[in-house]
Amino acid sequence: MSGSKQTRIQYPSATGPYKVCLKNSVPWHGAPEARLHNSVGKSAVEGGKLFAFCEWAAERFPHAVLVVSDTLQRFNVMRETVADECLAASMCRNSGDERLRRNRVSISRLRNVEILRWDDALAKSDTGTALTRLVEHYDGDADFRNALDEWVERFCARLESRGAVSAETAKIARDYSRAFLMEELAVFSWLCKPAGVDVYPGTSMQEVFAALRVQEDEFFDAFRRDRLLNDYERNKAYSPLTFSAAA
């Protein structure tokens, strides 16, 4: 007699103009919460796409943490403009406020949602401690330093190919990009440690995570868990007569 087969759960179809598609295979069924990472620096990932993201998560997870990385984007604003860090952070905070207002209907679809703003993440003592630890590790571990620097170089090369970075501004672009990643990793070090799944609409940074997960110290536990990477595709069954992602 063959063994019993696991019942395949049939989830409701997406109702908006987009639907979520997963870019990698990471176990997520039965996770107690989903940490949904939303980059305010990516204006394309809101509206119908954010609605699809929230609708998808609401059907699959009993609790959601919507991570709004608004003031993290201050490094990009400083690279792109002459704004100092205080002004750049204020601009990004305002952008986060506006995004939450624009997408409040989509966000309301989430079950038991907790909204984590980046300023609140930075205010936690765990973040400061982790950032100090990561800076020390960057200085002392060649594998981590090389992995992170290679990621920064690839990112800045894409900026240069678009004309967004010149030869004169290349160094500052690298410095800001490195600071961005180090701060993001510092928050990940505690945010991604509890049971759950992290759904991330970006690149995997797998080389950076690989350089961290080999460390035996429990500080690096969060980097041993792979993130679930998502993207979007057009929903062919979408009907504009029955859909609204705006209040």
Q: Rounded to whole angstroms, how far apart are CA atoms 44 and 49?
A: 8
Question: pLDDT, tens digit, for every residue of 32-80?
Answer: 999 999 888 666 678 899 999 999 999 999 999 999 999 999 999 999 9
Below-50 pLDDT ranges, the chain: 1-6, 247
Domain span at residue 33 reads 18-234
Q: Give the pLDDT of residue 5.
A: 46
Q: Give the pLDDT of residue 4.
A: 41
Q: Rounded to whole angstroms, how far apart are CA atoms 198 and 192?
A: 7
Dihedral class, residue 4 (left if φ above 0, else alpha if ψ from -120 to 50, else beta): beta
Domain contains 51: yes
Alpha helices in 68-124 (DSSP H): 74-80, 85-102, 104-107, 118-123
Measure Cα distances from 184 to 11, 101, 210 in Å.
32, 24, 16
Q: Give the pLDDT of residue 151.
A: 95
Q: Give the pLDDT of residue 169.
A: 85
**Orientation angle between helical segments 142-161 and 170-191, nearest 10 degrees:** 130
Q: Give the pLDDT of residue 223.
A: 95
Domain contains 130: yes
Please count the structural domains in the chain. Answer: 1
Nearest of 30, 31, 106, 32 to residue 68 by alpha carbon: 106
Domain contains 145: yes
Q: Give the pLDDT of residue 6.
A: 43
The CATH number of whichever domain residue 68 belongs to comes to 3.40.50.11710
Each residue of 52-71: b (16+ CB within 10 Å) or e?
Answer: bbbbbbbebbebbbbbbbbb
Domain contains 246: no
